[in-house]
């Protein structure tokens, strides 16, 4: 039997505000020029119909639906705001309403996108984009211009990308929004990254390290000099790990300097510099200046080229602790990448303290996940043959997770400390160290992913790309 779907189109969702949908338990099913058809589990069709016609200014047709299905429709299409944890005051302003809604439901990014026939607003929640609103072609330019003014951009410049920042202050909290514009075929696309100024939650212990990993990592960052490198794709949580590390190192007697692109969180007691390549303020040149600023700890947003890599190594050799990120697929791949960039292997071996790789994975909702027996098509063939994962949990969807099957995210890590044995392997430019990792009980991203599947924390689908690596 084919499973019933509870998603409805965005244009229908927008007909009914979230609060109204929950209050009257109604779901828009169809809209013609004359009549809006609504699903409901209400018994009072006449009273409800009359009331809704006044509120919505249109003729209403009500269709009976089961209570359980109405609950699923509501949770799939109208994410309910958590009134118990927020006291934000909502403005009549359309944009501020969208921003506050995104902040309340835990969205990290808001996308304003221009297309040929309609324009969209999408929220990124737990790493996945969800379409929330449609904007008419006539209204879209006004909204984009308003956002550009709010973020300090030049509204007359529509041909080049721009960056800006918005500060939103309410009686409840104060947060920043990083804004990026991009000229596309049918108009400008804007992405708003929501950045909380509340850094209390950014702590190493809360990121996802197991006991052995956090002890290894803390031992590496307590060294007075050397390089700490964190790798992973965009959106894997590298920046959060860096900020948590800076918070751990941020003491009264420590001078910390950072060069970032962009500055995502402001940290009290840390000297943060915004990258501006158009005026020559790049990673390499700023690092050179940092060495004359009597630093103890230096954080470089990203190592993108050999000049930055060489300056980071020079800083480490002259007695500074350097933290940075790099785009590679594994902790050992970071070392290979540096060698490929032209950094001498003996310098890598003598300066690198630890290499870290990480990913963010969605956690299964504890209220609705179900355990199933692993079939041959569920996981890579070699893992099935080895019998490593005999059972696993699948996502289902319920009222607690808004029918997504997932609730929250967790970071998983691969941490390789540079021991004498690793130093020798780096100097010899050896690429295969699997035996060493097994002998020293160093967990890889793959082994940590398998462990999370066994524990029922995440699903096979969520970490499948790590299982085939």
* DSSP at 80: P
Kindly report which listed range (10-24, 133-147, 354-368, 415-429) carries the lowest average pLDDT score.
10-24
- Same domain, residue pair 233 and 344: yes
Q: What is the pLDDT of residue 81?
A: 52
Q: Give tens-digit pLDDT for 329-368.
A: 899 999 999 999 999 999 999 999 999 999 999 999 999 9
Quick check: 241 pLDDT over 50?
Answer: yes
* d(C-alpha 127, C-alpha 410), whole Å: 11
- Same domain, residue pair 147 and 246: no
- Count Cα neighbours of 198 within 13 Å in the Cβ-side half-sphere: 7
Q: What is the pLDDT of residue 83?
A: 41
Using 50, 70 and 90 to split pLDDT, how confident is the model at 464?
Answer: very high
Average pLDDT over residues 100-115: 88
Single out the residue in 196, 216, 248 at which a domain terminates. 196
* d(C-alpha 54, C-alpha 67), whole Å: 25
Q: Is residue 375 part of a domain?
A: yes
- Same domain, residue pair 70 and 125: no
Q: Is residue 3 part of a domain?
A: no
- Same domain, residue pair 394 and 429: yes
State the CATH number of the domain containing residue 462: 3.40.50.300
- Same domain, residue pair 50 and 104: no
Quick check: 26 pLDDT over 80?
Answer: yes
- Same domain, residue pair 191 and 296: no
State the CATH number of the domain containing residue 58: 3.30.300.160
Cβ neighbors of 235 (< 8 A, separation 6 or more) are: 127, 360
Q: What is the pLDDT of residue 413?
A: 95
Single out the residue in 196, 213, 242 at which a domain terminates. 196
Q: Is residue 267 part of a domain?
A: yes
- Same domain, residue pair 213 and 323: yes
Quick check: 92 pLDDT over 50?
Answer: no
Q: What is the pLDDT of residue 358?
A: 96
- Count Cα neighbours of 252 within 13 Å in the Cβ-side half-sphere: 0
Average pLDDT over residues 33-56: 83
Q: 264-295: buried (b, 16+ CB within 10 Å) or exposed (e) per residue?
A: bbebeebebbebeeeeeebbbebbeebeeeeb
- Same domain, residue pair 355 and 447: yes
Rg, C-alpha atoms of the chain: 26
Average pLDDT over residues 288-310: 93
Residue-number span of the structural domain to which 395 is assigned: 204-468
Terminal Cα-to-Cα distance of the chain (whole angstroms): 35
Three-state DSSP class for residue 95: helix
- Same domain, residue pair 435 and 357: yes
Average pLDDT over residues 81-110: 65
Q: Please count the structural domains in the chain.
A: 3
Kindly report which listed range (69-83, 258-272, 404-418) carries the lowest average pLDDT score.
69-83
Q: What is the pLDDT of residue 172?
A: 66
* d(C-alpha 51, C-alpha 46), whole Å: 9
58 exposure class (CB count in 10 Å sphere: 0-12, 13-18, 19+): middle
Q: Is residue 118 part of a domain?
A: yes
Query: Which tokens go with 297?
Result: 């700890």
- Same domain, residue pair 284 and 361: yes
Using 50, 70 and 90 to split pLDDT, how confident is the model at 89?
Answer: very low
* d(C-alpha 108, C-alpha 192), whole Å: 8
Higher pLDDT, 87 or 249: 249
Using 50, 70 and 90 to split pLDDT, how confident is the model at 319?
Answer: very high
Three-state DSSP class for residue 306: helix
Three-state DSSP class for residue 99: helix
* d(C-alpha 132, C-alpha 8), whole Å: 11
Q: Is residue 137 part of a domain?
A: yes
Kindly report which listed range (50-59, 153-162, 415-424, 459-468) carries the lowest average pLDDT score.
50-59
Q: What is the pLDDT of residue 439?
A: 86
Higher pLDDT, 466 or 438: 466
Q: Is residue 5 part of a domain?
A: no
Across the chain, mean pLDDT equals: 87
Average pLDDT over residues 402-427: 90
Q: Is residue 83 part of a domain?
A: no
Q: What is the pLDDT of residue 84?
A: 35
Q: What is the pLDDT of residue 199?
A: 57
Q: Is residue 439 part of a domain?
A: yes
Using 50, 70 and 90 to split pLDDT, how confident is the model at 382?
Answer: confident
**By the 8 A CB rule, do 7 and 402 touch?**
no
Q: What is the pLDDT of residue 80?
A: 61
Average pLDDT over residues 241-252: 93
Q: Give, for 190, the enclosing helix (H) or strand (E).
A: strand 187-196
Three-state DSSP class for residue 18: helix
Using 50, 70 and 90 to split pLDDT, how confident is the model at 93?
Answer: low
- Same domain, residue pair 221 and 347: yes
* d(C-alpha 356, C-alpha 217), whole Å: 9
State the CATH number of the domain containing residue 181: 3.30.450.90
- Same domain, residue pair 336 and 383: yes
Quick check: 1 pLDDT over 60?
Answer: no
Average pLDDT over residues 401-406: 81
Q: Give tens-digit pLDDT for 175-232.
A: 888 899 999 999 999 999 988 665 556 789 888 898 999 999 999 999 999 999 999 9
Single out the residue in 49, 77, 105 at which a domain terminates. 77
Using 50, 70 and 90 to split pLDDT, how confident is the model at 91?
Answer: very low
Q: What is the pLDDT of residue 280?
A: 85
Q: What is the pLDDT of residue 308?
A: 92
């Amino acid at each position: 039997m084919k499973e019933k779907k509870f998603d409805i189109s965005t244009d229908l969702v927008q007909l009914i505000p979230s609060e109204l949908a929950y209050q009257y338990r109604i779901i828009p099913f169809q809209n013609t020029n004359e009549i809006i058809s609504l699903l409901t589990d209400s018994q009072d069709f006449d009273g409800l119909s009359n009331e809704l016609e006044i509120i919505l200014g249109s003729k209403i047709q009500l269709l009976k639906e089961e209570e359980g299905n109405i609950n699923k429709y509501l949770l799939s299409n109208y994410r309910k705001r958590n009134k118990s944890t927020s006291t934000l005051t909502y403005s009549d302003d359309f944009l501020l309403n969208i921003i506050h809604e995104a902040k309340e439901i835990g969205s990290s990014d808001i996308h304003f996108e221009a297309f040929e026939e309609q324009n969209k607003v999408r929220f990124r929640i737990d790493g996945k984009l969800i379409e929330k609103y449609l904007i008419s072609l006539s209204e879209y330019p006004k909204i984009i211009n308003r956002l550009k003014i709010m973020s300090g951009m030049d509204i007359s410049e529509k041909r080049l990308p721009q960056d800006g920042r918005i500060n939103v202050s309410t009686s409840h909290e104060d947060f920043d929004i990083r804004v990026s514009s991009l000229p596309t075929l049918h108009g400008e696309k804007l992405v708003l990254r929501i950045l909380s100024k509340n850094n209390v939650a950014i702590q190493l212990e809360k990121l996802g390290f197991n006991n052995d990993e956090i002890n290894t990592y803390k031992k590496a960052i307590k060294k007075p000099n050397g390089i700490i490198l964190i790798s992973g794709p965009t959106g894997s949580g590298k920046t959060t790990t860096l900020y948590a590390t800076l918070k751990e190192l941020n003491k009264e007697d420590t001078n910390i300097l950072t060069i970032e692109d962009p500055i995502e969180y402001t940290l009290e007691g840390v000297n943060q510099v915004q990258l501006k390549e158009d005026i020559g303020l790049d990673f390499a040149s700023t690092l050179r200046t940092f060495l004359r600023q009597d630093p103890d700890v230096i954080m470089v947003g990203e190592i993108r080229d050999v000049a930055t890599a060489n300056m980071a190594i020079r800083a480490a050799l002259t007695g500074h602790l350097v933290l940075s990120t790099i785009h590679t697929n594994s902790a050992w791949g970071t070392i290979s990448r540096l060698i490929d960039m032209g950094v001498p292997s003996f310098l890598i071996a003598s300066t690198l303290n630890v290499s870290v790789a990480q990913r963010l994975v969605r956690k299964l909702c504890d209220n609705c996940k179900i355990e199933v027996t692993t079939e041959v098509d569920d996981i890579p063939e070699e893992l099935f043959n080895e019998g490593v994962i005999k059972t696993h949990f699948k996502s289902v969807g319920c009222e607690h997770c808004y029918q997504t099957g997932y609730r929250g995210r967790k970071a998983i890590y691969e941490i390789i400390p540079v021991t004498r044995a690793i130093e020798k392997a780096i100097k010899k430019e050896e690429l295969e160290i699997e035996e060493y990792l097994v002998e020293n009980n160093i967990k890889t991203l793959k082994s940590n992913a398998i462990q999370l599947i066994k524990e029922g924390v995440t699903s096979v689908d969520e970490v499948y790309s790590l299982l085939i690596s």
